[in-house]
Structure 1
Amino acid sequence: MYPTTVDGRYFVVKGKLWRCSNPSLSADVRQELVNELMDARREIKTAKAAGDDERLKSARAKAQRLKVKLGERGPVWWDDGSPDFNQCQVKNTPYFEWHESLVTT
């Protein structure tokens, strides 16, 4: 399990922040979108293996659309005006001290 920021906006993998799914999505809707995203990722893998550039482009676009629906990409799902640090190194964000406290405990 990856550590999640106290505000629930990000989880950290190898020192990088990744935006969490929108918590206002119902469990059923979220799971359906995750299932579709996994299908799209399998399509990407298959297209790469086949060298099918058009299929790869289509599968990547589908994965991106699903990530936006999940809230992991695109407009942020919070409304307090805080900036988005998705895919930033945690050391370059306001979450640095929080992350450091995890490492030292």
Structure 2
Amino acid sequence: MDDESDDRWMIIDGRRWRKTDPVLPDETVAALRSHLGRGRSGVRVARLSGNTEREATARHRVGLAKRGLGERGPYWWDEPEAARLARAREALDELDDLDDPD
């Protein structure tokens, strides 16, 4: 990998994973990672209980958080910074709405 792609990808157990968008503010990353952790935990609990509806909801939370972090969806390095920040904010707003639907 060249130096530029090292800033975009990490290798874990031989698999390449996209890194979190580096322009995101620390507090936004922390909030998105909190949702990501809750989503992953929700997936585990739902799978153990066999609740497919809850598992789908938890997987949706994981997907939203990962897109907000720039780890899924369009490559963050191909987007203008304003679009990247807006994507993260929108994902966080949608995730927060999952906790407080009113």
* Aligned partner of residue 10 in structure 2, secondary structure: strand
Q: Quote the Cα distance in structure 1 between the aligned partners of 2:15 and 2:63.
A: 19
Equivalent residue, structure 2, for 1:18 = 17
Equivalent residue, structure 1, for 2:42 = 43
* Bigger helix fraction: 2
Q: Deviations over 1:27-83 (max 9, x none)?
A: 111011001100110110110111000000111011011100000000110028xxx
Q: Quote the Cα distance in structure 2 between the aligned partners of 1:43 and 1:63.
A: 9
Mind listing any 5+ residue stretches in structure 1 that lack a counterpart? 81-105
Equivalent residue, structure 2, for 1:75 = 74
Structure possessing the higher radius of gyration over alpha carbons? 1
TM-score of the aligned structures, taking structure 2 as reference length: 0.70
Amino acid at match of 2:68: K
Number of residue pairs matched?
77
Q: Quote the Cα distance in structure 1 between the aligned partners of 2:59 and 2:50.
A: 14
Mind listing any 5+ residue stretches in structure 2 that lack a counterpart? 80-102
Root-mean-square deviation (CA, aligned residues, Å) is: 1.8
Q: Quote the Cα distance in structure 1 between the aligned partners of 2:21 and 2:71.
A: 7
